[in-house]
Amino acid sequence: MDSLVHNQDLRRHNSFGFAACAANFMRVETLEQLQGAVAQARHNSWPVLVLGGGSNLVLREQIPGLVIQMAIGGRRVESVSEDKVRVTLGAGEIWHQSLEWMLEQGYYGLENLALIPGTVGAAPIQNIGAYGVELEQRFDSLLALDTDSGDLRRFNRDDCRFGYRDSCFKSHEPGRYVILEVSFALSLIPNLVLRYQALADELKARGIEQPQPSDVFDVVCAIRQQKLPDPAELGNAGSFFKNPLVSADRYRDLLQQFPNLVAYPADDAYKLAAGWLIEQCGWKGRCIGAVGVYSRQALVLVNQGSGTATELMLLAGQVVDSVQLRFGVVLEMEPRLYPA
Ligand SMILES: Cc1cc2nc3c(=O)[nH]c(=O)nc-3n(C[C@H](O)[C@H](O)[C@H](O)COP(=O)(O)OP(=O)(O)OC[C@H]3O[C@@H](n4cnc5c(N)ncnc54)[C@H](O)[C@@H]3O)c2cc1C
């Protein structure tokens, strides 16, 4: 296999900027190349990591086996009926660029997910979400290669078992399926989701009374640029912890003890703002060596440059311990640590 690279430096392939070294690395642009890479890994008994943009990964220094960089592209319209359109995107397409293209075509529904880094193929893995929209709401189906059997399998929404920052691909059988393409059910008529307060506030501040999807897209980009560090300048993976879900009873108990508790109703439970919990424990802006908690948003852990996954995981462990001690709530990490 001529495009197999040994000892590939992955610093530029992960948004934390960790200096990880892949024992073997291959970029795949076609299904045939992917099948060849998977066969080679099986032949050598190599573990496989499929890499998109590396924006939801904590990579350790040595990555054994094979890293496959997903670069299968393509965009096509499957069907148009009345006000609906179904589009399919290759897993290696860049998420944000794909959204720009959708907006240009007049295909609406994903504007709230603008500027999330990474690829289309990784988006279903944790059912990406932001500003009141989750991928599953606009999801139609996906096509994946089963690395166990070598077969192609189509997953509909129920098959994916989507949850909050979760799917079967993330928590049930991680690594078994390589996503090849994702189909979305979009609308030809704007159907804006504006219930997120920051979004409504920014539209108002801009004097936009009847927003169009492009306004929502622009405003989401602007808010994200203000709130989150740019990985090109400061290594990070966005939110490092999920917002913990607690029952309504537990929420009321906590609220009695901590009247300023920040939480959002989620069906019959409550989602606690993990950033607020971490900030209350005094972590915001604190660094341990080259890793730290972002000074403007405590939910984001950062690498100042020379940090390592080991240092980051130590810091994360201390954050988890202090939140548990103070609030009795266990934070769960959002990105994938590899190797675990
Ligand atoms: C600044 C910043 C902001 C962010 N904001 C958000 C946000 O608002 N909401 C949100 O949900 N996430 C957010 N994220 C997290 C991240 O961008 C998303 O999870 C994104 O979908 C990851 O895409 P990726 O291509 O970089 O995946 P990677 O990090 O490369 O991979 C993530 C996981 O998916 C697997 N994977 C990747 N591609 C495939 C494939 N084709 N088939 C099978 N498995 C695959 C990998 O093996 C790994 O387990 C943010 C990250 C950053 C750095």
Ligand 1 pocket member 280 (CB < 6 A): no
Give the Cα separation of 311 and 288 in Å (integer).
8
Report pLDDT for 2.
56
Pick 75-187's CATH classification: 3.30.420.40, 3.40.1190.20, 3.50.50.60, 3.30.465.10. Answer: 3.30.465.10
pLDDT in tens, 181-219: 999 999 999 999 999 999 999 999 999 999 999 999 999
Beta-sheet strand order (sheet of 269-272): 245-247, 269-272, 263-266
pLDDT in tens, 14-24: 999 999 999 99
Beta-sheet strand order (sheet of 287-288): 235-239, 300-303, 291-293, 287-288
Residue 1 in this model has a pLDDT that exceeds 90: no
Pairing of strands 263-266, 269-272: antiparallel
Atom of ligand 1 at shortest distance to CA of 125?
Answer: 34
Structure tokens at 59: 């990579």
Mutate to test the pocket of ligand 1, among 29, 34, 56 (most ligand atoms within 8 A of CB): 56
If 0-12 CB within 10 Å is exposed, 13-18 middle and 19+ buried, where does residue 167 land? buried
Q: Do 18 and 11 form a contact (C-beta atoms < 8 A)?
A: yes
Pick 235-338's CATH classification: 3.30.2020.10, 3.30.360.10, 3.90.78.10, 3.40.640.10. Answer: 3.90.78.10
Rg over alpha carbons for the chain, rounded to the nearest Å, is 20
Distance 240 CA to ligand 1 centre (A): 12
Distance 81 CA to ligand 1 centre (A): 31
Pick 5-70's CATH classification: 3.40.50.720, 3.40.50.1000, 3.30.43.10, 3.40.720.10. Answer: 3.30.43.10
Nearest CA to ligand 1 atom 43: 178
DSSP code for 122: T
Q: In the chain, what are the domain boundaries?
A: 5-70, 75-187, 235-338
Report pLDDT for 3.
87
Nearest CA to ligand 1 atom 20: 118
Q: Mean per-residue pLDDT for 71-88?
A: 97
Ligand 1 pocket member 70 (CB < 6 A): yes
Ligand 1 pocket member 167 (CB < 6 A): no
User: Which is nearest to 122 in space by CA: 227, 33, 195, 13?
Assistant: 13
Q: Name which of 7-11, 62-66, 221-225, 266-270 the model is least confident about.
A: 266-270
Nearest CA to ligand 1 atom 18: 56
pLDDT band per the 50, 70, 90 thresholds, residue 306: very high
Residue 12 in this model has a pLDDT that exceeds 70: yes
Pairing of strands 75-81, 84-90: antiparallel
Structure tokens at 157: 């929404």
Give the Cα separation of 48 and 108 in Å (integer).
35
Which ranges of 190-240 would DSSP assign to H, the alpha helix?
Answer: 197-205, 213-227
pLDDT band per the 50, 70, 90 thresholds, residue 37: very high
DSSP 3-state of 61 = coil
Same-fold call for 5-70 versus 75-187: no
pLDDT band per the 50, 70, 90 thresholds, residue 220: very high
Ligand 1 pocket member 133 (CB < 6 A): no
Residue 39 in this model has a pLDDT that exceeds 60: yes
Where on the phi/psi map is residue 55: left (φ > 0), alpha (ψ -120 to 50), or beta?
Answer: alpha
Distance 300 CA to ligand 1 centre (A): 15
Distance 206 CA to ligand 1 centre (A): 31
Catalytic residues: 165, 239, 334
Cβ neighbours of residue 261 under 8 Å, at least 6 residues apart?
251, 254, 255, 272, 276
pLDDT band per the 50, 70, 90 thresholds, residue 321: very high
Structure tokens at 133: 């929209």
User: Which is nearest to 237 in space by CA: 171, 174, 145, 312?
Assistant: 312
Ligand 1 pocket member 183 (CB < 6 A): no
Ligand 1 pocket member 113 (CB < 6 A): no
Distance 179 CA to ligand 1 centre (A): 13
Average pLDDT in the chain:
97
Ligand 1 pocket member 54 (CB < 6 A): yes
Q: Do 113 and 135 form a contact (C-beta atoms < 8 A)?
A: yes
